[in-house]
Structure 1
Amino acid sequence: MCADDVQKAPVLETRGLTKEFRGFTAVDDVNLQVQEGHIHALIGPNGAGKTTVFNLLTKFLSPTRGEILYRGKSITSMKSNEIARLGLVRSFQISAVFAHMTALENVRVALQRPLGTSFHFWKSESSLDHLNDRAMALLEEVGLGEYADTLTVEMPYGRKRALEVATTLALDPTMMLLDEPTQGMGAEDVDRIVALIKRVSKGRTVLMVEHNLSVVSRLCDRITVLARGAVLAEGDYDNVSRNPLVREAYMGSDAAEEDGTGKEGAAV
C-alpha cells in the first residue's frame, strides 16, 4: 500500500461497529477502512462475523453501537435503498436473479430501478425496449452476450453469478460489495469470476467476503481478517498469510486447504 493511500480519507469506514444478539456479540468493535479504488477482502473462519458485517454495512441489520461512514458522511441510520442510491450496491452469497426470466430481462429489470419503474409489471414489454442496448452492453461486459435470450434457470452456475454482477452494474455502483462471489464454483468458473471482478473493478471500489484465499491473493489490495467478531489482522496478502494469529485462527478447521499454488488457501 503506498503512502498516498494512507493519507487519503477512506471511501468506507466503520468506527466501533458492534452488533449484539441477546447478549451474544457477533461483531465486536470493528474499525474498518476501505480505500477508494481498492479491492478489499473481509475473511475469517466460519462464524467470524463476516456476513453480519456485510449486513450492517448494507443496512439489512442495525448496529447495536458504532458508526458507518461513506465518503465521510454517516450512513448509520440510512435504509438499504438509500445507501444504494449513494452508489453502494451489494450482491448476495446466493445468486439473486429471476430464474424464469432471460439474462437480458434480468438486467432490464435492474436498469429500471433508478427510473422508479421497477414494479410496473403491468406495462407492456415493449415499454422496456429502450433499455435493451444498455442491457446488452452490460451482458457483453460480463461475457454473457451469447446468453441474452437464455432463461436464467438454464444457465450454468458460474454464468448465473456473472449475471448477478451485470445486474449489480446496472445500478451504476461506485462501490460494489460482493458476498462470496466464488462460492460453490469449480476451478474454471472461479478463474472466470476472478477475471471478471478485475475487469469491472476498474474505476470502482470493491469490498468482498471471500472463502478462497487463492482468489484473495490474486485480487485484493488489502485484507481484513475477522475472528469471533473482532478484527484479528489487517494488511496485504503476504503479511496476513504469514501472521501467526491468522494461521492459528484457521488451524484445525476443515476449511484449511492447499490452493495448488504453494500458498495456503482456505474456505472460510
Structure 2
Amino acid sequence: MTQQYVLETRGLTKSFRGFTAVDGVDLKITEGHIHALIGPNGAGKTTVFNLLTKFLPPTRGEILYRGKPITRMRANEIARLGLVRSFQISAVFAHMTALENVRVALQRNLGTSFHFWKSERSLEPLNQRAMELLEQVGLADVADVLTVELPYGRKRALEVATTLALEPTVMLLDEPTQGMGAEDVDRIVELIRRVSAGRTVLMVEHNLSVVSRLCDRITVLARGSVLAEGDYASVSADPAVREAYMGSEASVGEEASA
C-alpha cells in the first residue's frame, strides 16, 4: 500500500524568464513530523514555500494535501485547509496589545477579522481562547503590553500564537530563528517543539543547530533541486551536502555544534 503523506510535491518546478528557481522538486512530508528544508542561499527554499502557499503559481508539477491535488487552489483556500505559513501570513500589529493581536487572528478564523466597529464587550468571548494561546507560547504575562514594546524574540512567539489561532494542521515556518541571539533561539526551539504536538511542521532554517535539535527529516536543496534527504546524521555525513551547503569540505555537523 502506498503511503499517503500530509503534504507532497511531484516534479514541482518554477521558472522565471528562462531561470529555473525550483527544478522538479519532490517533497514527501510525513504527518506529525518536523521536516526541514535547508540549503545555501539561492537554493530555492523560499520559492518552494511561496509555491506551497500559493504566493506563486508553479510552472509545472503537482502539490497534494493528504493525497488530494491542491495545485490550483488559491491562498485563502489553502489556509482554510490548515496549511498556514507563519511569520509572514501571521503579521502582528505593533500598536495593539499581545492579547488584541491574538484576538484579531481568532476573528479571522471566524470570518470577522475586519469588523473593527464591534464593541469591546462583543469581543470578550474570544479573550479566554486568546489567553490560552498566549499561555501556550509563554506570553500570558505580557497580554496587555503593546507589541511594539516586546523584545524581538517575544514578537516571534506572538506570531506563533496568531498562527495557532488559525488552527493549522501544517505550519510552514520561514526562518523562525533569523536574527536572534542564542537565548532567544533556545526559547523558539522549545516553543516549536511544544506547539508541534499533534501538528506537522515544515521549516526553512539556516541555523543547523536548530535543525539538528528539532527535525525528524531534512531535505537539502541546491540550485533548485533536491540534493539529499534523510535524518540529520545521514544528511550531515554526505560529502555532496557538505560541499554545497558549506562551500567546502567542512562538516555540516561541525557548524551545527559551533
Q: Could you state the TM-score of these two structures normalised by the residue count of structure 1?
A: 0.92
Given that residues 214 and 263 in structure 1 are in contact (C-alpha distance below 8 angstroms), is that contact kept between their aligned partners in structure 2? no
Confirm or deny that 1:265 pairs with 2:256: yes
CA distance in 2: counterparts of 1:186 and 1:60, whole angstroms = 30
The runs of 5 or more residues in structure 2 that have no matched partner are none
CA distance in 2: counterparts of 1:64 and 1:221, whole angstroms = 30
Deviations 1:105-129, CA, capped at 9 Å, x for gaps = 0000000112110111122222211
User: How much does 1:7 deviate?
Assistant: 5.8
Matches within 5 A, 1:23-42: 23-42=18-37
Confirm or deny that 1:101 pairs with 2:101: no
CA distance in 1: counterparts of 2:24 and 2:196, whole angstroms = 29
Query: Which residue identity lines up with residue 117 of structure 1 in the other structure?
Result: T
CA distance in 1: counterparts of 2:200 and 2:105, whole angstroms = 20
RMSD (Å), alpha carbons: 2.0
Deviations 1:191-226, CA, capped at 9 Å, x for gaps = 000000000000100000001010000000000000
- Describe the SS at the equivalent of 2:256: strand
Match of 1:176 in 2: 171
1:132 to 86, 102, 127: 127
Query: Which residue identity lines up with residue 80 of structure 1 in the other structure?
Result: A
Match of 2:236 in 1: 241
Question: 1:193–1:90: structure 2 CA closer, same or farther, 3 Å change rule?
Answer: same
Identity %: 83
User: How much does 1:252 deviate?
Assistant: 3.5
The runs of 5 or more residues in structure 1 that have no matched partner are 1-5
Given that residues 87 and 160 in structure 2 are in contact (C-alpha distance below 8 angstroms), is that contact kept between their aligned partners in structure 1? no
- Describe the SS at the equivalent of 2:11: strand
How many residues are treated as equivalent by the alignment? 257
Matches within 5 A, 1:189-268: 189-252=184-247, 263-265=254-256
CA distance in 2: counterparts of 1:257 and 1:246, whole angstroms = 9
Deviations 1:134-174, CA, capped at 9 Å, x for gaps = 00000000000001001001000000000000000000111
User: How much does 1:257 deviate?
Assistant: 9.5
- Describe the SS at the equivalent of 2:206: coil
Given that residues 95 and 160 in structure 1 are in contact (C-alpha distance below 8 angstroms), is that contact kept between their aligned partners in structure 2? no
1:162 to 151, 157, 165: 157
- Describe the SS at the equivalent of 1:30: strand
Question: 1:154–1:185: structure 2 CA closer, same or farther, 3 Å change rule?
Answer: same
Match of 1:3 in 2: none
Confirm or deny that 1:69 pairs with 2:69: no
User: How much does 1:92 deviate?
Assistant: 2.8
- Describe the SS at the equivalent of 1:265: helix
Match of 2:147 in 1: 152
Given that residues 92 and 101 in structure 2 are in contact (C-alpha distance below 8 angstroms), is that contact kept between their aligned partners in structure 1? yes
Given that residues 16 and 65 in structure 1 are in contact (C-alpha distance below 8 angstroms), is that contact kept between their aligned partners in structure 2? yes
